Amino acid sequence: MTEFPGFLRIPVADWIDSAVRWIVVNLGAVLDVIGDVLLGVLVAFERLLLWLPWFVIVTVIAFLAWFAIRKWWAAPVMAAFLLIIGSFGYWDLAMMTLALIIAAVIISLIIGIPTGIFMARNDTFAGLLRPILDGMQTMPSFVYLIPALMFFGLGKVPAVFATVIYAVPPVIRLTNVGIRGVSQSVVEAAQAFGATSRQILFEVQLPLAFPSIMVGINQTTMMALAMVVIASMIGARGLGMEVLLAINRIEVGRGFEAGVSIVLLAILIDRITHALAARQQHTQVAR
């Protein structure tokens, strides 16, 4: 009487296992195409960042920091962060991590912004998608490694796949919120001047929602960085792999250097993207 009755058990795990097996067997060609696209995007960015001289990347990041933050100290501080990472001997690994983040964020934006737009323009779709996004954001990040491994095996491709799935919800949500937050009177004024639905979207709603979308891009980027570290468990090279190796070998110093490098990279990315979002918001308010 004290045990939960077995006949009430719902075999969700069995259903999911069957669905995954069916996808692997019947959609193998589609998965191969997706894998080739993900790998091509990642390898392109990785080769570019590893090909560019370190001082060029430091200069570009310093300029971006100054342009975004508009403080005299931004450029030297952000440049110093990169120099510290390089002084630890992790320059190449940091560029691999940055390439994975860039690839994952670009793919997330390609998926997320159109989805957010459609979500804002269709209440039924929004109602169906919200609980899915809730589940994606509350699901433990390690869970995403399982389907990635099943579909693509070990390596860079499953790392990008898992990172995209984990990082895409914020940009979808904030694109939807930004478009829905546009004043209805502004939309009605555009309609009164004869603007089409397409013109209202691209010339009114999206420009006014851009600050919110930029916040979504910032959050997606930070979640991608968090997932990249976890993705090292399935073969993604980079700073996360160094942390994992340090834990396995109990090398405290090595783990500390890799951890500090990840923190510095996270601060750098967050400050630049956050400042760009804040500037866009101030611009919209000024208008």
- Residue 190's pLDDT band (cuts 50, 70, 90): confident
Does the pLDDT at position 273 exceed 60? yes
Q: What share of the chain is helix, strand, coil (3-state, %, to 5)?
A: 85, 0, 15
Measure the CA–CA gap between 87 and 74, rounded to whole angstroms.
20
Does the pLDDT at position 286 exceed 70? no
Does the pLDDT at position 281 exceed 70? no
How many other C-beta atoms lie within 10 A of the C-beta of residue 23?
15
> What is the rounded radius of gyration, in angstroms, for the C-alpha atoms of the chain?
22
Measure the CA–CA gap between 221 and 226, rounded to whole angstroms.
9
Does the pLDDT at position 258 exceed 60? yes
Q: For the chain, what are the domain ranges?
A: 10-286
pLDDT value at residue 56: 92
| Closest C-alpha among 133, 108, 145, 121 to residue 223 | 108
Burial class (CB in 10 A: 0-12, 13-18, 19+), 226: middle
pLDDT value at residue 114: 92
Measure the CA–CA gap between 169 and 115, rounded to whole angstroms.
10
Amino acid making up residue 219: Q
Measure the CA–CA gap between 100 and 134, rounded to whole angstroms.
25
Task: Report which listed range, 4-13, 17-26, 35-44, is most confident.
Answer: 35-44
CATH class, range 10-286: mainly alpha
pLDDT value at residue 280: 62
Segment 245-260 mean pLDDT: 84
Does the pLDDT at position 285 exceed 60? no
Amino acid making up residue 137: Q
| pTM score | 0.85
